[in-house]
Amino acid sequence: MRKCVVALAGAACLVTGTVHAAETLQIGAMPLGSIWYVFAASFAKVIQPALPPGSSIEVIARGGGIGNPVVVNEGKAQVAIANTSTSNWAFSGDEEMYKGKKHQNIRGLLGGLNEVWLVAMLTEEYIRRTGNDTLEKALLGDKPPRIIMKPAGSTVPPTARMTLEAMGTSFDKIKAKGGSLLQVDVSQIPQLMRDGRADLYFESASPGHPATVETSTTVDVRFVDLPDKAVQLMGQHGLKVSPMPQFFKGQKGPVRSVDFGTNLIAQKDLSEEIAYRITKAICDNRDALVAEHKGMSGFTVKDAWRPENVGIPLHPGAIKYFKEKGWVD
């Protein structure tokens, strides 16, 4: 398991005369090359001064939107970046995604960090070779694509599967017709695309997403609309129906898509004081974080507590911060 370790130092943390013990804080993210790993590393830097001396932060370079709520629920990480939608699915035990198992040891710290869209990219070489210039044609035609995406744990595999199901097909049917499915760490995808190993790339993208930027600038790809039926089905499962504006080379304008939303969650047993300090550190350093990551430009601190941005009940430590700011009664 790859991880970024940030050692913490500084003056003793005093609250009502109490010296707090050093903390070992694990932040669930995604593999190297993902925007969540980059976000988490930046969060660690601003959280650093807020924790007791001798503390450490580990940014866990694995996981994803589906897996991170489970990791936090089971106490394998105290904090994690997740999706608003998947946090809600995990908490409620969504039948499609979590097979009815409720993960109710998770709480929200803040939300609305950025918008994350499910996108599909076809290579121009595949389009020239097959004439399949839409996702419908590619998935339903007699020359199916070689599909590439992230492994289980990300929001991409289940939502890509839902996209296929909405069109009356499946990964098994695609393979039976001569297509293929390759699931690898996101850091490997741009090179495999350059090597001509895939025709269709499904990704959860936001402005500045490293793998999407690299792929779209080094491979001749075209972003294509998600089919109406797929968008409608995912809308029924709590995703926000929202077009992705033009951010990347290979887009000729906005593309039809759905937005997962991004939040920061914590284990319910994380102390109120530490949850408060984490929430405060990120919110109070919003401008510095946005300057470092343009993909977070839509993060609005005064709305970070709202249910539509968090998706699950707030942690008491987060409530304490937002009450201090006068945004929550």
Q: Which domains does the chain have, with CATH numbers?
A: 3-114+261-324 (3.40.190.10), 117-259 (3.40.190.10)
- Calculate the CA dihedral of residues 294, 296, 302, 307 and round it to 10 degrees: 160
Task: Write down the pLDDT at residue 95.
Answer: 78
Residue 237 has pLDDT above 70, yes or no: yes
pTM above 0.85, yes or no: no
Which of these, 258, 62, 65, lies nearest to 162 by C-alpha position? Answer: 258
Q: How many separate helices (H) and strands (E) can be counted in the chain? A: 15, 15
Cβ atoms < 10 Å from Cβ of 137: 15
Residue 72 has pLDDT above 70, yes or no: yes
- Calculate the CA dihedral of residues 270, 240, 186, 98 and round it to 10 degrees: 60
Task: Write down the pLDDT at residue 306.
Answer: 93
Give the residue with greater pLDDT, 208 vs 143. 143
- Calculate the CA dihedral of residues 283, 284, 288, 294 and round it to 10 degrees: 20
Task: Write down the pLDDT at residue 75.
Answer: 95
**Average pLDDT score over the chain:** 91
pLDDT in tens, 287-324: 999 999 888 988 999 999 999 899 999 999 999 999 99
Any idea which residue has 């969504």 for tokens? 94
Cβ atoms < 10 Å from Cβ of 324: 11
Q: Considering only 132-141, 224-233, 292-301, which range has the smallest mean pLDDT?
A: 292-301
- Which amino acid is present at 307? P
Q: Considering only 9-23, 99-113, 136-150, 209-223, which range has the smallest mean pLDDT?
A: 9-23
DSSP-derived 3-state class of residue 82 = strand
Which of these, 282, 293, 327, 277, lies nearest to 307 by C-alpha position? Answer: 327
Q: What is the mean pLDDT of residues 209-226?
A: 96
Residue 5 has pLDDT above 70, yes or no: no
Say which residues have a Cβ less than 8 Å from residue 16's Cβ, sequence separation at least 6: none
DSSP 151-177: -BTBSHHHHHHHHHHHTT--HHHHHHT
